[in-house]
Structure 1
Amino acid sequence: MMSYLFYLFFMIPIFYFNFWYLYQFIYMLFILLFILVNVNFSFSCVGYLFGVDYVSYILIILSFYIISLMSLASCYLLKYNYLFFVFINYLICLFLFFIFSSMNMFIMYISFEFILIPLMILILGWGYQPERLISGLYLFFYTLFGSLPLFLFIIFIYLDFYSISFVFNLCFEFNFLFHLMMVIPFMIKLPMFMLHFWLPKAHVQAPISGSMILAGLMLKIGGYGLIRFIYLNEYFCYYFNYIWFSLSMLGLIMVGFVCIVQVDVKCLIAYSSISHMMLCLMGILSMSKMGLFGSLILLISHGLCSSGLFCLANICYLRLFSRSLYLVKGMIFFMPTLSLFWFLFSMFNMGCPPSINFISEFMIIISSIYYFEFSYFYLLIGSFLCACFSFYLYSFSQHGSFNYMYSHSNVFVSEILLLICHLLPLIILLFFFMIF
């Protein structure tokens, strides 16, 4: 793993030069090199407190892929301090690599905290409206109050066991307070219903790159942290999981209703992310192999699908300077090239078969019914609402009478490339799972 870390460290001098294509090439080269790593169910390729297993392996590849697409999505910033922008993206990528490859709780915690700094700079520096200051404070204080109990929990583990490695199965006197300290920061990052108020504010005020990071990667930190910490002591986590499972079922329905009444395109996509993360949380909390595997697939598919939807919303915003569904109408006449992409991403977002989202949701539904047999009622309503707001997003944005004087608008080749790069992995992964 140290060879990959040195690869990332020696990238720093490149950011003094304005070679945009070189950044893309280096990130893609890292992905190709990292694919060659031999991984197992347990930590492999171990070196200096870093290692990868199947969960972290997939999420690291997703991180570098989304980061490279962020640079492509923000190419219109080439005239506005672009070198600093690319360096901020690099810092986010570096800390994500630390989080997903760390075998040590303390290193993961430090990276978990430090990633907040470049993300705040990204929102405050390249956000749209003055409200980005308030959204940055929401993100900062939610993360701060959630992560301090985790730090105390790590200190407690070290004083008792003299080890803070994820490799060991820790058997200690457990109670609900310890369980709460362990899971609450990741519930905030996921985010869980009732702890999600920072996410729509941060999404709406963030630039397209910030939205791609939040939807594609930051939410995945919450899921990854839960997977890592819950399996440190499986019995007691299984004993308290019914609390979070109940809130997830409630949140799945409540957030679905909230999505249907949204008029801001980015806000609707942000709330749909919360709805999908509730499904992911239910799969993780069922603590079954099928639920864990389904949640991991949903994390990957949601990272690509939600990021693609934010890119589509940003393309419309750059032409119309509005995100309101009352004004963003008739896009099928204004930008007919993008109508197919809107349709495909909406279908992927609602989990329409035979998409990879459908496979993940099907596995999560089965594992949730095994955990609590009456959960099918909540899952049925939640899936129906998910289909409703996906149709609502597509039909309201594409159909209707167009409000502006222009007859049509061209889409840049770079924007088509960006959307294809989001769509192709979803289709390729679908064929991969059909084969195996």
Structure 2
Amino acid sequence: MMKFLLALMFMMPLCFLKYFWLMNWLFFILSFLFFMNISYSFIWMNISYFLGSDLLSYSLIFLSFWICSLMILASEKLLKTNNYSNLFLFMMINLMLALYLAFSSMNLFIFYLFFEISLIPTFILIIGWGYQPERIEAGIYLLFYTLLVSLPMMIAIFYCYEFFFSLDFYFLNKNLKNLFMYMCMNMVFLVKMPMFFIHLWLPKAHVEAPVSGSMILAGVMLKLGGYGMMRLMKLFLYVGMKINLVFIVIGVMGGVIISLICLRQSDIKSLIAYSSVAHMGLVLAGIMTLNLWGFWGSLIMMLAHGLCSSGLFCLANITYERMHSRSMYLNKGLMNILPSMTFWWFMFSISNMAAPPSLNLLGEIMLINSIISYHWWLMIFLSLISFFSAAYSLFLYSYTQHGKYFSSVYTIFLGNFREFLLLFLHWLPLNILILKCEYFLLWI
């Protein structure tokens, strides 16, 4: 694991030598090298110093490498307009380093440290390369929502050290029968996911962020919450059996309410951001059921959502670069002027509503199994979430692609090889991974 850490560190000087596309290639090469690094023991593999990975960490680190490669591919505009592209690459590598160390750390405190450090490059991405003046407010929202709940987590970590005499995940094997500790430890993950009621930072951050910021937020940052919860839920089995139902109900009811909010959004990016909250509500409910189907389904749903949501943000950005607006009232009838992009809008919209053969479908089936086995009453909310997710995905597709296009659009660029490659590299793993889905069932 240290070899990838050193590779990322030695890429830092390259950022300032104006090798924008070389950096993109290097990220892709690192992705494939990491992909080939899999071992079939599936307990803890590639252990070096305090780093290691089981299948949960492995899949999320691979997702981080992949999304970061695609972020550079999506940000060509920074290079063309000479908008501090070198600094952007430097921030990207810092962010990737933080994510890599957070996901691969076998020590709870190191995980917490890099969980928090990953906030800083994201904050700089939003503040530095966002489009509107409100980006400062969005950045502050992001920072304070996370910081407010992260300090209690530090107290909980010190308590864990006193209780277990170690912070290695391997030794955290007893039950903590303390509701206060449960809340201190998990609130930070609930904010990060984000759970309904504490989700307000997410649409704000997404709408103000540049395309790369949106991609990393939707693709990887939300997964940090799910990952932390999966790692630490075994500490709270006793408390969890008593109060997890509360969070499951908030997750699925929040999913229904957010789906209804999606149906009346006029901003394309805002709609995609709110749909993330609905999907992560399902993931939260799946983890909180504390059963195997829930954990499997949550992992698959997180990977699927990372690829699908990131692809949708890319599409929104491609449209924004041409129309200079994110409003659905102006981005109408795009089928007439961007017919080749309509195909990709369709493919990502149906993936978002969990149509076969996307990973979303597999994740959703597993989560539905898990949540209904917890309590059959929850099937009412699950059926509503499934129906409304189809409704807002079709609303997004049909509203933007059909109809009469905006009269002041008189010239438009049809799309280039880079954009189609970017969308294809989101779509391919999303729909091909279902062929080898047994891999995801081996990590426990």
TM-score (norm 1): 0.97
Matches within 5 A, 1:180-329: 180-329=183-332
* Pair 1:2 & 2:7 matched: no
Q: Aligned residue for 2:428?
A: 424
Q: CA deviation at 1:173?
A: 4.7
1:24-81 C-alpha deviation (Å, 9 max, x unpaired): 2221222222223315442222121111000000000000000010001001101111
SS of equivalent to 2:47: strand
Distance 1:408 1:152 in 2: 55
Q: Aligned residue for 2:47?
A: 46
SS of equivalent to 2:52: strand
Structure 1 contact 95–112 (Cα < 8 Å) conserved? yes
* Pair 1:412 & 2:416 matched: yes
- Report the residue type matching 2:186 in the other structure: V
Structure 1 contact 168–232 (Cα < 8 Å) conserved? no
Distance 1:88 1:279 in 2: 31
Q: 1:173 to 1:331 in 2, by over 3 A?
A: closer
Distance 1:354 1:57 in 2: 23
Q: CA deviation at 1:293?
A: 0.9
1:401-424 C-alpha deviation (Å, 9 max, x unpaired): 111342653112211111111111
Q: Aligned residue for 1:18?
A: 18
* Pair 1:72 & 2:73 matched: yes
Matches within 5 A, 1:346-361: 346-361=349-364
SS of equivalent to 1:76: helix
- Report the residue type matching 2:413 in the other structure: S
Distance 1:47 1:430 in 2: 31
Q: CA deviation at 1:274?
A: 0.5
Q: 1:39 to 1:132 in 2, by over 3 A?
A: farther
Q: Aligned residue for 1:124?
A: 127
Distance 2:321 2:292 in 1: 44
- Report the residue type matching 2:391 in the other structure: C
Distance 1:39 1:197 in 2: 41
Distance 2:143 2:347 in 1: 34
- Comparing 136-145 with 39-48, greater Cα deviation is found at 39-48
- Identical counterparts, % of pairs: 45
Distance 1:73 1:66 in 2: 10
State how many pairs are aligned.
436
Distance 2:4 2:318 in 1: 34
- Report the residue type matching 2:276 in the other structure: S
Distance 1:400 1:2 in 2: 54
TM-score (norm 2): 0.95
SS of equivalent to 2:235: coil
SS of equivalent to 1:231: helix
Q: Aligned residue for 2:28?
A: 28
SS of equivalent to 1:51: strand
Distance 1:434 1:233 in 2: 28
Q: Aligned residue for 2:89?
A: 86
Q: Aligned residue for 1:364?
A: 367
Q: CA deviation at 1:172?
A: 5.0
* Pair 1:151 & 2:154 matched: yes
Q: 1:209 to 1:16 in 2, by over 3 A?
A: same
Q: CA deviation at 1:117?
A: 1.1
What 5-or-longer segments of structure 2 have no aligned partner? none
Indicate the RMSD between aligned Cα atoms, in angstroms: 1.5
Distance 2:324 2:9 in 1: 39
- Report the residue type matching 1:44 in the other structure: M
* Pair 1:433 & 2:437 matched: yes
Q: 1:435 to 1:287 in 2, by over 3 A?
A: closer
Distance 1:167 1:155 in 2: 17
SS of equivalent to 1:195: coil
SS of equivalent to 1:167: helix
Aligned pair partner of 1:381 in 380, 384, 404 = 384
- Comparing 38-47 with 153-162, greater Cα deviation is found at 38-47
Structure 2 contact 266–329 (Cα < 8 Å) conserved? yes
Q: Aligned residue for 1:336?
A: 339
